[in-house]
Amino acid sequence: MKLVMVLMLAALPLYCYAGSGCAYLEGVIEDTTNPNISIEQFKNSLEEYIPDDATSKAVGEFKQCFLNQSNETLENFDAFMVIAQECRAMGKGLWQVR
């Protein structure tokens, strides 16, 4: 389960980095952190990437992790993602920004 979460968090930025469109990544992040988006809605938005029941369950648990967080934590995560994308746009890793 933890591996699936790590892979999802790693795969989406790579998808964006490959030039396939950061708007899609931003939409997935927004859906992930939006407490008004249900697990079923989240799964439906990603259904083309969910090949089986095990993956569907993992995606549901992934979304539930975010639903369990406070609004403050979700806002901090959103801010972190903005900073990470800006660093990537500058060609730097987060550890290189001062």
Instruction: Tell me which DSSP letter residue 86 carries.
Output: H
Is it the case that residue 30 has pLDDT exceeding 80? yes
The tens digit of pLDDT for each residue in 50-75 reads 999 999 999 999 999 999 999 999 88
CA distance 74 to 76: 5
Q: Read off the amino acid at residue 35.
A: P
Q: What percent of the chain has pLDDT over 70?
A: 66
pTM across the whole model: 0.66
Q: What six digits make up the tokens of 45?
A: 């938005």
Is it the case that residue 45 has pLDDT exceeding 90? yes
Residue with tokens 């790579």: 14
Q: What six digits make up the tokens of 13?
A: 């930025």
- The predicted pLDDT at position 17 comes to 52
Confidence label for 19 from pLDDT (cuts 50, 70 and 90): very low
HEC states along 7-35?
A: HHHHHHHHHHHHHHCHHHHHHHHHHHHCC
